[in-house]
Structure 1
Amino acid sequence: MLTEGQKKLLEELKNNLAKSVPEAKISQSDYARTGYHLEFSSSKVGMRRVAKEMRSRRFNLETVTAVDFIDSFEIVYLYYSYNQDNIRVMVRIRVPKDEPPFTISAVYSEAIWLEREVYDFFGIQFKEHPDLRRILNPDDADYFPLLKNFGKTTITEEIDDMLC
């Protein structure tokens, strides 16, 4: 059950996000079922505008990840606010695979590490990122393990042999 403060904050946030990115779809969600209160989805436009709005409302960036589709990626940002009322917001931005998205690291410095991880696992190259290089996989790796077209490598075959 939402408190009055949460309801007010969510309504203000929905209105401001709708003004910032009018082409986006914004919907309230059942936190008990989904783990977030508000879901924002858009095409590649608006991710920096959304990040600025979230920052102005004192939301923190919790994580960044991605989903690999046939012709596009969906970059997923999770924001949370624990200042007055606990609120979580999921932002989904759909970007074509041949058009890299812009970084939000100028708005949230923690995005530097989180976007590096997304690059390392999906190969998504964020435009204007200050330090886009591998973070967990070997520097000379020629693969991105969370892509759907990622096949067997010598390493994964050896692991499969050990486990099976």
Structure 2
Amino acid sequence: MGVTREIWVAPAAVQLQEHGPDWLDVVDDKQWSDENGFHRGFCSSFRIRPDRQIWFHFPFQVPAGGSIDQVSLLWETEEGAQVSWACVHHGGMERRHLYEPNAPLNGVPEPFDPPEMWRKFYPAAKRMRADMAVEPAISTRFGFQLCILVDGPGVIRLYGAGLRYTDLIG
């Protein structure tokens, strides 16, 4: 048995499948955010237009020769948006569903209270953490990503994504 660890990517790593004002609206009063959202150091925020769904992809760099048995998401939604599906892709072509589509993702609160001197720079946060089992575990050989589908209208704030990786070689 190898060493198991969590590997996380920052929120700015997220890739949107659809872009532009046909899909996104202005978020956090940044007029230019209707193109690609608003990426900050601590979160990436997006306002999804009514009757739209957008896939968000978190790519991970993981060595070959290991296995992944869990993925995690730090997020929050506002104004009616919901994460309605999650899956993982590996090897470019293989997809594994993490739960049934069209069901809201549940999580547990992951609170954060910024220091008083910086509080004015942070939006109020109601972060959630969801840990989702990857069953059976995926052996790593090619690229790996967590994909979430978000239904609008409303705001999604992404704080990062993670996975549990076991090195089977070392």
Fold equivalence (TM over 0.5): no
**When the two structures are superposed, what TM-score results if normalisation uses the length of structure 1?**
0.30
**When the two structures are superposed, what TM-score results if normalisation uses the length of structure 2?**
0.29
Structure number with the higher strand fraction is 2
- Higher RCO (C-alpha under 8 Å, 6+ residues apart): 2
* Bigger Rg, structure 1 or 2: 1
Structure number with the higher helix fraction is 1
